[in-house]
Each structure stands twice: as C-alpha cells, then as structure tokens.
Amino acid sequence: MCRFCDALLRAPAGSGGGGFAATPAPHKGPMPAGIGEPGRRTLIRGGAVLSVDDAVGNFAEGDVLLEGRRILEVGARIDAGDAAVIEAAGMIVMPGFVDTHHHQFETALRSFLADGILINDGRPESVYNYYEAILQKFSLVYRPEDVYINELYGSIAQIDAGVTTVMDVSQIHHSPEHSDAALSALRDAGRRAAFGYFEGWGERSKYPQDARRIRDQWFASDDQLLTMVMGGEIYLPGYEAAWDVGRELAIPIALHVVGTFGMQPTFDALGAAGRFGPDNIFIHMTGMSEEGWKYAADAGAHISLSVPIEMQMRHGMPPIQKALDHGLRPSLSTDVECTMTADMFTQMRSAVTLQRSIANEMALRGEDYPKLLSAMDAIRFATIEGARGLRLDARTGSLTPGKDADIILLDATALNVAPLNHVPGAVVTLMERSNVDTVLVAGKVKKWQGSVLGFDLDRLRAELEASRDHLFAAAAIERDLFRA
C-alpha cells in the first residue's frame, strides 16, 4: 500500500485525513424536549438549507428558526437565544415531500402486482391486472380494521421516507365504517394528509352523499393536519353527483384520467361544457387529446403524474412534457405500492430521466428540443407544486416564514452521498429513503436520527401481515412468493 493511502486510512475519525477539512459528522445527541410545543423555539443550525422559496433563498450553511409549529425565520446565521438546538451540520435541510396521489389502503399488497398492468387488454401480460385483481377482488373483502392498519402502516412508511404530506386516494368506502377507519388512521399517523373520498362498492356504501357527514364530523377546524378531497371518477356512473357534492363543500375534486380507459370523449365534453376549474386535480392524463389538455390548462387545473407507474403499468407515456408545454407545473405521486415503492426519490429521478431522455433523443437527431429538466425542477414538483395542487401551499411546500414546519433533514455525509458538491443534485440523483435522518410535521418530530418515533412497529407489522393473510384468503388468491 502506498504511504499516502496508509496515512489516510490511519487518520483519526473526523480529521479528513492528511489535513483535508472535513464536514462534521451529523449531531447524534438526544432530542431536545418540547419541540413543536406552543411558544417553544427551536433552531435547526448549520445545515445546507434548500428553501424552495426564491424570496427566502438558499444557504450553503444556514439556520431555520421555529416557534411551536411554524417557521419563524430562515437565514445564514440566526441568534436564537435560549432556543432548543438541532445540529444540522452535514445535513440538507429542506421542506418535506408532498405526494399528491397514493392508494395507501393497498399497503398489505406491496409488490403483489410488480409485473402486472392496469387493465385486461387481452394480451398475455393481462393475467394479473390492477382493475380486476386489486379493485374487483382484493378491495371488496376489506374490513374496516384492514383499512385502518393498511392506511396507518403506509403513512408511517412515508414518514420514514420524508413524505410529510399525502393525498390518500382511498377507493375503499364500502361503508361509513370503512371511511372512518381510513380517517382514524390518517389522524393517528400524525402527518399532513388530504383525505381523498373516492368510491366504494356494495349496498352499504354511502358514496358520495356521506361526504357531508364526513366533512362535518372530521373537518370542523381549518387549522388541522387533515383536509379533504372529493373523488369523482368519470369512468363510473353517477360521477356528476360526486362533482356537485365536492363543489357544494368547496373542496378539490380529483380523478384518474387515463386514455386506455376510454375516458377521452367524456373528459373533452366536460371541458367543452366549462365544467373544469382550478379545484380539479387530474391524475395521469395519459393518452389525452390536445383539446383536453387545453381545457385543463385554461381552467387552471392541477396535474399529478406517477411517472414510473405510468411506464410500468401501460397507462401510456407519462405526459410530463405535454404538461410543461401547456404551462402546467405538475406534481409527483407514488400511486400504488402493489407495483412500485412509495418514495419521492424514485419519482423525482424517473421524471427527470424520462423528460431528459426524450429531449436528448431529439437533440441527437438535430431537432429542436425542450429545455432539459433540472434536479431543482424535480424538487419543486415534489414539494411546492404538490402543495399548490392540494391547496396547501399557504401551509407547506417550502421553508417560508409563517408556514408550518414540515421539514426534513437529509444526511449528506452518508456513504452514498459524500462529498456534497451540489445540493439539488445530491437529493435527486444520489439519495434514497435511508438518507432521511429527521422529519418534522407542523414542528413535531416524527423521525429522529433515522428512527420513526411513537409507534410499535413490530406490533403494527404483525397486524399488517394478519390483514394480508385475511385479504388473500377472502379474495381466494394464492400468495405465491415466486409467481412467474
């Protein structure tokens, strides 16, 4: 071994070896008491601050001061007096991720449909498809207790991955008890969630009329972590009533828009009739007409894209460039864990690499091509654009004074990231859920130095496995761990 290499390997930990300056190791002390409590001030000190707010700016080494649940100040150096301190040296400090479309009730079915596609189109790959297996078999045998543990476990898993806000698309409202179970789980998870009240099946389903009862019972306060979204799928009969109820309650109206489901004529007709508005959230938008895109853009609707799922499950080509061409800034969403992981690092990488691959092919052919997406573009899609789409941008999506402290600390000293050379690039091109060190939601610490707090995970995993066993048995589907 060369003398220099030997000296470097023998250098004391933290010395940098041979005199190089080293980033301090992340602080590993105890969690300060009272973080997030009313009046309690907390200083997140010395991290690389990525604010996602142009007016606030970014800081190679900066501080974020909290008071109770809210962000008080963001700057290079903040004198916070006797505030509790979270040392963030070696961390990237940024807003938590916002997932605008996640079917959390399917958590017990993780990876079951890894090789499946969306619908049965008569081709060989259609043997296992989402519509028949998940919606028409598994979902019909969910009990309220299955809904609860699936929703709770899925929520905790996303906290672990730094997702502080979700729109939960729970197509499981077979009875008011099913709805209340989903809401109880979202509340008990303790993170920000837009409860998506979508369809249910069977004679006990009260969708969509039960939305009024749910709104009165669960959403009495406007200053809470839970908000509500109305599901209104245009491929189901009676969607008009759901849209009417949503607008009566003044909540967003969300729906899946997939050309392979034959939705284009109905969608275009609604757009032509002026039925779209800024309260609409259109998920996927694959295979849609130019007229449909124009109607959506003119109405100021929001677009949620699930890029890896759309590519994997035959929804159609993810229309990220189409959205950008029409002046729409999309958000990103994880969709279904029966097919793909529910972390936003996967979503950001997929969105950037797809758009750039298409644009780069055009460049290589000598054609005009669109502006290449950057890592920072992907971060905006995964944070502030999602918050805007859910009408939550006054509360979350950026490190802006006055907003709630939905904040994540990402370990940039980890083996897969160090040395840190470009903050957005490190987040999008290098990181994964293992880099999520600490998570705060409305000022409360939900994950601390790599460990999720407040849950007996062994017990919850056992309950989730018991739910899985019931679902497979009741749906009469074999659980073959090596199915071809």
Alpha-helical segments (H) within 261-319 = 264-272, 290-299, 307-312
Measure the CA–CA gap between 446 and 441, rounded to whole angstroms: 7
Residue ranges, CATH 2.30.40.10, the chain: 3-95+403-452
How does DSSP classify residue 367?
-
Task: Give residue 24's pLDDT.
Answer: 65
Measure the CA–CA gap between 459 and 464, rounded to whole angstroms: 9
Minimal CA–CA distance to 278: which of 259, 256, 303, 306? Answer: 303
The number of residues making up the chain comes to 484
Task: Give residue 20's pLDDT.
Answer: 43
Tell me if 386 sits within 8 A of 100, measured CB to CB.
Answer: yes
Task: Give residue 3's pLDDT.
Answer: 54
How does DSSP classify residue 18?
T
Task: Give residue 34's pLDDT.
Answer: 93
Task: Give residue 125's pLDDT.
Answer: 82
Residue ranges, CATH 3.20.20.140, the chain: 97-389
Task: Give residue 7's pLDDT.
Answer: 46
DSSP labels for 381-422?
Answer: HHTHHHHHHTT-TTTSSS--TTSB--EEEEESSSTTTPSP--
**pTM, to two decimals:** 0.95
Low-confidence ranges of the chain (pLDDT < 70): 1-22, 24-27
Task: Give residue 14's pLDDT.
Answer: 42
Minimal CA–CA distance to 375: which of 343, 395, 348, 397? Answer: 348
Task: Give residue 26's pLDDT.
Answer: 65
Task: Give residue 127's pLDDT.
Answer: 83
Task: Give residue 391's pLDDT.
Answer: 98
- Fold held by 3-95+403-452: Urease, subunit C; domain 1 (2.30.40)
Q: What CATH code is assigned to 97-389?
A: 3.20.20.140
Task: Give residue 262's pLDDT.
Answer: 87
